[in-house]
């Protein structure tokens, strides 16, 4: 894959393409909805950060990640597998997240998960490789592809904020489920990841207008 979301220039290209392909995206752009590039480190560290942050508040995730990084040095799958369950639980990881990260680390070491080469795969194939790992679901896979690799076509259709933003932006009667949102997103290929960023940005704008935390 030649193009990654690594610069503002590439992000702008994606936004321009979306505006040409979809009048709703063009309207959001005209209203000043501006997504941020934002990227996290790729590799085991980036994927571990996403797993740690699942189903907990941002503050809790930050605290847990800080404690984990204090004992995970360097942040490699080999070092992770040397840590005891007790030390990982003390850092704040749930039993489920410990199992997931052990599965990730093992699959990387054994060559089942070519994490350092996923940027060369189309989004759907890379997604499939990630979700083969026990404990890695679709949302985790897509967020990794988008925020750690900068894959422009990764699309977290199961994200509730993206679903709700799509409902509001497109005037839908109800929030689209994963299947419906994937169907809607076909028009955004090969920039579905940029569209997701636009929808997240729009969600924050709407919540700010409502006076609710985004």
Domain annotation covers residue 2? no
- Whether 213 has a pLDDT exceeding 50, the answer reads no
The answer for residues whose C-beta is within 8 angstroms of residue 183's C-beta and 6 or more apart is none
Distances (CA, A) of 6 to 9, 10, 89, 149, 200: 8, 7, 35, 9, 18
* Global confidence as pTM: 0.85
List, for residues 30-78, the tens digit of each pLDDT value: 999 999 888 888 999 999 999 998 888 889 999 999 999 999 999 999 9
So what's the pLDDT on residue 31? 94
Shared domain for 33 and 103, answered yes or no, is no
Q: How many domains does the chain have?
A: 2
Distances (CA, A) of 102 to 23, 52, 81, 109: 45, 13, 6, 11
Shared domain for 84 and 121, answered yes or no, is yes
Domain annotation covers residue 81? yes
Q: Which of 28, 47, 58 is nearest to 194 (CA)?
A: 28
Q: Residue 7 gets which letter from DSSP? A: S
Shared domain for 70 and 129, answered yes or no, is yes
Shared domain for 116 and 50, answered yes or no, is yes
Shared domain for 140 and 195, answered yes or no, is no
Domain annotation covers residue 74? yes
Domain annotation covers residue 3? no
Shared domain for 113 and 176, answered yes or no, is no
Among 148, 180, 200, residue at a domain's last position? 148
What mean pLDDT, rounded, does the chain reach? Answer: 93
List, for residues 77-95, the tens digit of each pLDDT value: 999 999 999 999 999 999 9
- Whether 9 has a pLDDT exceeding 80, the answer reads yes
- Whether 22 has a pLDDT exceeding 60, the answer reads yes
Phi, psi at 176, each rounded to 5°: -70, 140
- Whether 211 has a pLDDT exceeding 90, the answer reads no
Count of CB atoms situated within 10 Å of the CB of 198 = 27
Among 148, 180, 201, residue at a domain's last position? 148
Domain annotation covers residue 1? no
Among 133, 148, 163, residue at a domain's last position? 148
Shared domain for 141 and 64, answered yes or no, is yes
| CA atoms 159, 164, 165, 167: torsion sign | positive
Cα 9 to its chain centre, rounded Å, is 21
Domain that holds residue 110: 43-148
Q: Which of 26, 22, 4, 9 is nearest to 146 (CA)?
A: 4
- Given phi > 0 = left and psi -120 to 50 = alpha, else beta, which region is 166? alpha
Q: Which of 74, 133, 59, 64 is nearest to 99 (CA)?
A: 133
**Helix 160-170 vs helix 192-210: angle between axes, to the nearest 10 degrees?**
80
Q: What is the CATH number of the domain that holds 169?
A: 1.10.1670.40
């Amino acid at each position: 894959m030649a193009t990654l979301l690594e610069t503002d220039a590439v992000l702008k290209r994606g936004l321009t393409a979306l505006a040409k392909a979809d009048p709703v995206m063009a309207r959001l752009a005209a209203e000043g909805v501006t997504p941020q590039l934002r990227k996290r480190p790729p590799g085991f560290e980036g994927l571990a950060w996403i797993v740690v942050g699942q189903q907990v508040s941002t503050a809790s995730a930050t605290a847990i990640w800080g404690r984990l990084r204090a004992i995970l040095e360097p942040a490699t799958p080999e070092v992770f597998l040397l840590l005891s369950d007790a030390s990982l639980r003390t850092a704040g990881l749930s039993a489920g997240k410990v199992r997931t990260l052990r599965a990730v680390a093992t699959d990387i070491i054994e060559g089942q998960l070519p994490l350092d080469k996923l940027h060369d795969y189309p989004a759907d194939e890379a997604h499939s490789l990630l979700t083969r790992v026990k404990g890695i679901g679709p949302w985790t896979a897509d967020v990794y592809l988008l925020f750690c690799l900068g894959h422009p076509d990764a699309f977290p259709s199961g994200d509730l904020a993206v679903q709700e933003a799509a409902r509001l932006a497109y005037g839908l009667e109800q929030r689209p489920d994963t299947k419906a949102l994937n169907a809607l997103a076909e028009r955004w290929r090969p920039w579905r990841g940029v569209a997701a960023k636009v929808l997240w940005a729009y969600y924050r704008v709407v919540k700010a207008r409502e006076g609710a935390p985004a």
